[in-house]
Amino acid sequence: MIGCAVVVAGLGILFADQARASWFDHVVDSPIISTLGVHGLTSYRLASPGTLGPAVLISGAIAVVCLRFRRINGAVLALLAVPVSDGLDDAVLKPLFGRTDLGQLTYPSGHTTAVFAMTTTVAILLLVPPQQSRTRMLRVLLVLGAVAVSVIVAVAVIALEWHYFTDTIGGAAVAIGTVSALAIIIDLLTASRWLGLRLAGLMESGRFRRPDSPTP
């Protein structure tokens, strides 16, 4: 998370208030635009997983699967990942750094943030908790597939000239850092609630008393 914050802040400060591609962006973006830019409709479709409608549907589907397996924390994470990450982009980071392309704020890339938020959610759900070893390969392949989709979206928004390459790097860093932080916060809140309920139950049963509680 700290590394992601450093990347977002570093790139944001480096390109703050700029309205053009850096030399590094130009090196990466030019071959992508020249190769895929003529296929505008295809690129638009490839970028669609990072748009609001598909992102909401995919996040909802992940949440439903989590509920099916009684992973309440996972469902909450799936529902919060995209809106919190994108909200951080639109409400804080884009106005703060002010990087533009054709008058539109571009840093960090919202499309890339949204799709990487979903990918990070999938990675946390499939790889972090202890799982049966016989399903490990399938889980790894699913995560790699999600990463591949995220990379395709990032390439597509560059081909459409909606974003510079460094915009997509910033978007991915925002998503990974934000979703990781959300996962930790949700787990901590759940653990605190469970501990509180456990202590309350012990006190009611008389097995635990506060130090100042009168003895019978």
Specify the higher pLDDT residue, 79 or 39.
79
Q: Could you read off the pLDDT of 115-155 as tens digits, one per residue?
A: 999 999 999 999 987 777 788 899 999 999 999 999 999 99
Position 214 scores a pLDDT of: 45
The closest alpha carbon to 115, from 138, 148, 141, belongs to 148
Cβ proximity of 69 and 63 under 8 Å: no
Phi, psi of 182 (to 5 degrees): -60, -45
Report in angstroms the alpha-carbon separations of 130 from 64, 133, 144, 167. Answer: 20, 9, 19, 34
Phi, psi of 123 (to 5 degrees): -65, -45
Report in angstroms the alpha-carbon separations of 127 from 50, 102, 174. Answer: 23, 40, 20
Least confident of 44-48, 71-75, 130-134, 190-194: 190-194
Domain residue extents for the chain: 2-18+37-197
| pLDDT over 50 (residue 213) | no
- Measure the CA dihedral 88/94/97/98, to 10°: -170
Query: In 10 A of CB 153, how many CB atoms?
Result: 25
| pLDDT over 90 (residue 201) | no
Which position has the token pair 């390109």? Answer: 15
Phi, psi of 104 (to 5 degrees): -105, 135
